[in-house]
């Protein structure tokens, strides 16, 4: 990945973080051949557990896995 590509990724990540989003980025090299969509899906699943542990506000109605799968199609 070119340095300019990485600088764009860092810039976009910082913008999302400034808007209150949690951002995780793995480069193609860091993925080592793992499919990005599968890594992303798994990180989303694991992320909910982390949020539940660290959250300071009560859980709001979030999409079920079935609704989530429908919503992203």
pLDDT for 5-62, tens place per residue?
Answer: 889 999 999 999 999 999 999 999 999 999 999 999 999 999 999 999 999 988 876 6
Q: Give the number of domains in the chain.
A: 1
Give the global pTM. 0.68
Length of the chain: 73
Kindly state the DSSP code that residue 29 receives in the 8-state scheme: H
The whole-angstrom separation of Cα 42 and Cα 47 is 8
Residues spanned by the domain of 27: 3-71
């Amino acid at each position: 990945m070119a340095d300019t590509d990485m600088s764009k990724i860092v810039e976009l990540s910082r913008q999302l973080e400034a808007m209150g989003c949690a951002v995780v980025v793995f480069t193609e090299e860091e993925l080592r051949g793992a499919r990005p969509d599968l890594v992303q899906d798994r990180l989303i699943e694991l992320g909910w557990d982390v949020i539940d542990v660290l959250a300071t506000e009560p859980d709001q109605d979030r999409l079920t896995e079935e609704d989530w799968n429908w919503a992203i199609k």
